[in-house]
Amino acid sequence: MALDCGDQNFHLHFTLFEHNLLFTGPPGTGKTMLASRLPGILPPLSHEEALDAAKVASVSQAGLDMKHWATRSFRAPHHTASSAALVGGGSRPRPGEISLAHNGVLFLDELPEFNRDVLEVLREPMESGRIIISRAACFAEFPARFQLVAAMNPCPCGYHGDRSGRCLCTSDQVQRYRGKISGPLLDRIDLFVEVARPKQIVINGKGRAGESSSAVRQRVIRAHRIQFKRQGVANGQLESAGVERHCGLNTQNVTFFGQAAEQMNLSPRACQRVLKLARTIADLDRAESVNQNHLAEAIGFRQPARH
């Protein structure tokens, strides 16, 4: 899936709440700006969610700042961050970035530059939405249900595939660079978005660059409400039984999806993520059930598994 953003008119109609996202593109294409705009279009925090965020902040190093009451957090730790900084730790355990990003966005820029071991500790909380830190003397559990938004260059120099042709990286160098992110972590990402440099935002050929942020936000809020009314949680939080129940496909689409998954070598986890994303696309479309277009769009956001 490619995204062109030549101007600064970033209206994130493609941004789907609770779905993890990876931007790939050359430097200077606004990947960081796209990510930082995200909390502004997400649904407002409920009272309960605001209380949860305040509780985490109150035991953090920085403490609670009422200025941030009920705002969705946007945390952007540097790629040199340690695993303790990211997931929490210390002799008297304190929450890390993933808990400070609870119900908000965790932005990891320059994803391949993070220490691989540090990234691997994200896998479990990305599934469970919480993190348990146990030390000899004590034990702590913090919430950690965050939307991961990551960004990376396509190669070490950053210009692989760029029209300028200035990339001289060898295919080995490109593979090694991309290989710094493990398959299981990639499995947990729902949207792979390439950010290029032309003039207008285009997704699937449907340009919606003129849409205002508030209109986008309204659509996201509406889709969010539909999800909570139907199943009590956002689609991104559905477990296997919930996926089966709420993201069901008709026989024709089961065959279509089966063929696509086989061709792309998708793992069972990746398949579940595609179905959840298709459900969200259907909700944004106010559709009762997932149809082939929703499914095809969700598959289009997926990157084939590496061999």
Q: Which residues bind Zn ion (CB under 5 A)?
A: 155, 157, 160, 167, 169
Q: Which of 229, 233, 219 is nearest to 284 (CA)?
A: 219
E-only strand ranges, 174-272: 191-196
Distance CA 110, CA 32 (A): 10
For Zn ion, the closer of residues 84 and 157 by Cβ is 157
What's the distance, Cα to Cα, between the start and end of the chain in Å? 20
Task: Give the 3-state secondary structure of residue 134.
Answer: strand
Minimum separation from the CB atom of position 165 to Zn ion (A): 11
Question: In the complex with Zn ion, which residue's Cβ is closer, 155 or 271?
Answer: 155
Q: How far is the CB of 103 from Zn ion (least distance, A)?
A: 37
Which H helix or E strand runs over 140?
A: strand 139-143
For Zn ion, give the closer residue by CB, 166 or 286.
166
The 3-class SS string of 43-92 reads: CCCCHHHHHHHHHHHHCCCCCCCHHHCCCCCEECCCCCCCHHHHHEECCC
Instruction: Report how far residue 252's alpha carbon sits from residue 302's, in angstroms, rounded to the nearest whole number.
Output: 21
Cβ proximity to Zn ion, 158 vs 300, nearer residue: 158
Give how far the C-alpha of residue 28 lies from the chain's centroid of Cα atoms, to the nearest Å: 21
Q: Are 79 and 119 in contact (CB under 8 A)?
A: no
CB of 96 to Zn ion, least distance (A): 32
The secondary structure of residue 22, as a DSSP letter, is: E
Instruction: Report the residue number, 54 or 157, with the smaller CB distance to Zn ion.
Output: 157
Measured from the CB atom, is 128 or 170 closer to Zn ion?
Answer: 170
Q: Based on CB atoms, which residue is closest to Zn ion, 27 or 90?
A: 27
Look at phi and psi of residue 205 and say left if phi exceeds 0, alpha if psi is from -120 to 50, else beta.
left
Q: 3-class DSSP state for residue 194?
A: strand
Give the total residue count for the chain. 307
Residue 189 Cβ, how far from Zn ion at the closest point, in Å? Answer: 22
Q: How far is the CB of 190 from Zn ion (least distance, A)?
A: 26
Report, in Å, the least distance between residue 157 CB and Zn ion.
Answer: 3
